[in-house]
Amino acid sequence: MCGIAGWYRRRGRPVEEAVIARQCDRIIHRGPDDAGYFTDGDFGFGMRRLSIIDLAGGHQPIFSADGRHAIVFNGEIYNHLDLRRELEAAGYAFHTDHSDTETALASFLHWGDEAWLKLEGMYAVAIWDRAERQLTLARDPLGIKPLYLTEQHDGLAFGSEIRALQVLPNHRFDLDERGVHDFFMFGHVQRPRSFYRQVRSLEPGHVLHIGPEGEAQVHEFWRPQFRLRHDLSEAQWIEETRERVQATVQSHMLADVTVGAFLSGGVDSSAIAAAMTRVASAPVKAFTVGFPGTSIDETDSARRIAEYLGAEHIVLSLKPERAGDLLPAVQAAFDEPCAATAAVPIWHLSGLAAQHVKVVLCGEGSDEIFAGYKRQRSALRAARWRPLLRALGPVASAVERLPGGSADSNYRWQKIRQYRHSALLENNYQRFFQGTQISSPEVRERLYREDFYSRQDSDERFRRLEQEYFGFPGARSLSPLEQFMLADITVHMPGSLLNRLDRGSMAHSLEARVPFLSHHFVDWTLTMPLDMKLRGNLGKYALRKAIEPWLPANALDKRKLGFQLPFKEWFRGEFSDFAREAWHDSGAAASGYLRPQAVEQLFAEHRAGRADHGRILYAIAMFSCWWQQRADMRQSNAA
């Protein structure tokens, strides 16, 4: 696992090694064990290494036998030993003992762009061809590893994080209003945009080639496709699920260091931990974060499962009075504001795990591929209610405007209004965007300054987003559940879920692996009949049945919680005080995007129990932390 960065300046303009070193120094947390740089005229790249495989021989950049090609690589290839044997049989002479980075380079030299689908793992890779002066960049199919690009002054620069780009001379990084709107609507910026107009991400499952002249050429080499099969019985699907979960977990345990697991007590992390214990030679170290005294604390459930599995269970308790230290530290791990619900617990849990291991396996991705989200089931129900609610029209609108009462009843009415709005949308792509919002259109209309709102939001918001991401032929022919799952896999997962996991873990030099997101495993799950995923109101049906024999009785019966924050409780206490102070003291109130009076009203309504604004208040707090850190960085650079 590493962080990579580079700059193809082109037009014969030299790239100094010192510039590449500064890029890599900005991401030293991603790889504190080693560093390597290479420059070749108007090109240069480098890396920071977290040593996991071939500890002694994996120094990068790695060169081909003839010296023509060089590679820097961030990630892990779990089938690299199999590929290595195949390449050796074809005549390739390896120079390292068992470096997966050299295997990735050899694979590209042998198969070209067909290599990317042969690599089973997570990766962001840069390969330089010294003879043709061509740069190749590739990103893994699911977007597990990040890769950011900026094209300025006829050159192209890249990095594992945006901060690696911001040290380049004469480069601009202007805030993108669309990215700001994305953040206050969804809690993160939607791919491939960033918070800066000049920066974008290389999309998951894409490869880029750029030579000394002309524009970069980008091609897609993988996308999720539903190819449902009906040739197996229910028992056979369950057995195959059990076998494939065990196999993908075992392959992801490949390392020359100790591997642990995140354990929340839910289906996904329990499946990972249980599969690990079945093949581990020593007790698995399992790490849990708890929220004492709140409705989402899962410590007891996780402890019960860990004891049953014989795991070494290590628990971290988070309390809201630490907010003044907690939020700024977490936000500092991100180049952009991040209001992902799990960012805080993942950051802290990663810090705990890094004291014991270098690698953890995580359950991310299971909800997307096995239909485990409540929002997926809610969207299906909402679609069935659409004809009736359209017929009721004004009557339903009048009911929505009835006055509230207690805090609990206010929250229920808020949910009812959201549900009705979801039901009236045209399809499940639009319901996906509605269901992953952290703020309603009504709140944003109150919150945004008038000119900002008029430029970025509209009554056609969900239809426009559908066209932007799912306007391709055949998209609407998918079933309602397939539509929502496709949106989760291709939009929410790389934009939010995997981004928070990468940043939270790498901030502590911890490698986080996601066995459910092997692209071969994902391809297989997309052949599974939908009723093996969603059975009535029960999501992840086949996965649950597959792992039941591995866990204590009734371990999977409880309500899904996962890694999140208790917003409703925390933002009615001292946590709210810190968030308000951050808003005022950071200068974010003068950013020009939000109305300060409206922000104050949201805080007051939430504290009084008139509405649950926890998610958007958390976003405002994180935006404020980021705004302060951005100002501090600019002041430091000026000095």
> What distances in angstroms separate CA 116 from CA 77, 137, 248, 532, one per listed residue?
11, 11, 18, 30
What is the residue whose two structure tokens read 């866990």?
A: 551
Catalytic, 2? Answer yes
Closest C-alpha among 567, 608, 616, 589 to residue 442: 616
Burial degree of 212 (CB within 10 A; 0-12, 13-18, 19+): middle
Strands 69-77 and 62-63: antiparallel
* DSSP H or E run through 51: none
Q: Are 173 and 198 in contact (CB under 8 A)?
A: yes
Closest C-alpha among 513, 500, 88, 535 to residue 335: 500
Give the three-state DSSP class for 260.
strand
Q: Are 582 and 624 in contact (CB under 8 A)?
A: yes
Closest C-alpha among 40, 75, 79, 35 to residue 59: 35
Q: Which residues contact 167 (CB under 8 A, 6 or more apart)?
A: 19, 22, 23, 26
Q: Are 48 and 24 in contact (CB under 8 A)?
A: yes
Report the sign of the C-alpha dihedral through residues 548, 534, 226, 190, in that order.
negative
Query: How many residues belong to the chain?
Result: 639
* DSSP H or E run through 293: none
Both tokens assigned to 565:
């924050």
What is the residue whose two structure tokens read 């705990």?
A: 352
Burial degree of 240 (CB within 10 A; 0-12, 13-18, 19+): middle
Q: E-strand spans in 145-304?
A: 148-152, 155-159, 199-201, 206-210, 217-220, 259-262, 285-290
Catalytic residues: 2
